[in-house]
């Protein structure tokens, strides 16, 4: 079994936990490596690997917050991920540092038995006829080059071909249940429990508009944009792509899903940290 470990950038504590986990994994008889930045922080640059190598691992370990987990997920493809939470909100990172070694050893033992318990969370991709976005674990946002008065986009939203909403807004956001607690929440969208199979369609600062809508996970959401020269599509707040307008952007579930190993997080306990 091969395990890749990634620590939050710039965090001495995360690096220390990653180092302890490396020793624990090695002691459990599995092959283990650290990402290049973590290895550099430990003064061992020669042992570091590129995070893209996570896709070839049997298990990835993210040490930090949900941002670190998402960074690992963007590179891990379908490799299962255990998240170690260093005191942040922790919707994805469920394992406290003091339980990290035990949690990772348990996954190694389960792998050896062929019994890893892995949960799946949907990812989204945006596309046009000639382009497809980087997969998003949280949300896809379609907006103009800037927000606020005098800016925004003219748009129409269709769900499985049927018109849902249209008008003028800063943009349109489509979120997974995982992403419902992120940008979607700041745009007054609903919280969606991770056990619910659905996507959120949320108009951002719309002139009028409709309430945020929860649709099936397999729904196809199409956003037609005009009234601007360019439209910006963002995947998880990064990987921005500028497209000429008018255009039509389709958002739907993509493969592989994000795969989460280890003990599940307590959704309601994590919510308390948001207040």
Q: Which of 19, 66, 170, 236 is catalytic?
A: 66
Other Cβ atoms less than 10 A from the Cβ of 187: the count is: 20
DSSP 45: G
Q: Give me the sheet containing 230-235, strands edge to edge.
A: 213-216, 198-204, 171-175, 139-143, 230-235, 238-244
Q: Is 207 in the active site?
A: no
What is the Cα–Cα distance from 6 to 18, expressed in whole angstroms?
7
**Cβ pair 81, 259 in contact under 8 A:** yes
Q: Length of the chain in residues, anyone?
A: 275
Q: Which tokens belong to 94?
A: 């469920």
Active site (catalytic) residues: 66
């Amino acid at each position: 079994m091969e395990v890749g470990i990634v620590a939050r950038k710039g965090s001495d504590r995360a690096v220390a936990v990653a180092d302890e986990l490396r020793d624990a994994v090695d002691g459990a008889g599995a092959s283990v490596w650290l990402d290049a930045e973590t290895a550099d922080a430990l003064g061992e640059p020669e042992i570091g690997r590129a995070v893209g190598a996570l896709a070839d691992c049997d298990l990835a370990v993210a040490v930090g917050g949900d941002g670190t987990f998402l960074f690992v997920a963007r590179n891990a493809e379908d490799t299962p991920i255990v998240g170690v939470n260093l005191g942040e909100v922790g919707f994805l990172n469920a394992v406290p540092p003091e339980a990290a070694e035990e949690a990772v050893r348990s996954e190694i033992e389960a792998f050896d038995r062929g019994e890893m318990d892995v949960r799946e969370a949907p990812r989204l991709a945006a596309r046009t006829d000639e382009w497809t976005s980087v997969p998003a674990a949280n949300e896809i946002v379609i907006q103009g080059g800037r927000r606020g008065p005098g800016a925004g986009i003219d748009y129409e939203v269709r769900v499985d071909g049927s018109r849902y909403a249209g008008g003028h807004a800063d943009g349109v956001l489509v979120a997974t249940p995982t992403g419902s607690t992120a940008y979607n929440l700041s745009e007054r969208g609903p919280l969606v429990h991770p056990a619910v199979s659905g996507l959120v369609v949320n108009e951002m600062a719309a002139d009028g508009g409709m309430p945020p809508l929860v649709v099936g996970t397999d729904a196809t959401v199409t956003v037609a944009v005009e009234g601007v020269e360019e439209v910006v599509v963002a995947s998880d707040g990064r990987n921005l792509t500028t497209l000429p307008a008018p255009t039509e952007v389709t958002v739907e579930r993509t493969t592989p899903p994000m795969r989460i190993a280890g003990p599940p997080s307590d959704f309601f306990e994590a919510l308390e940290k948001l207040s």
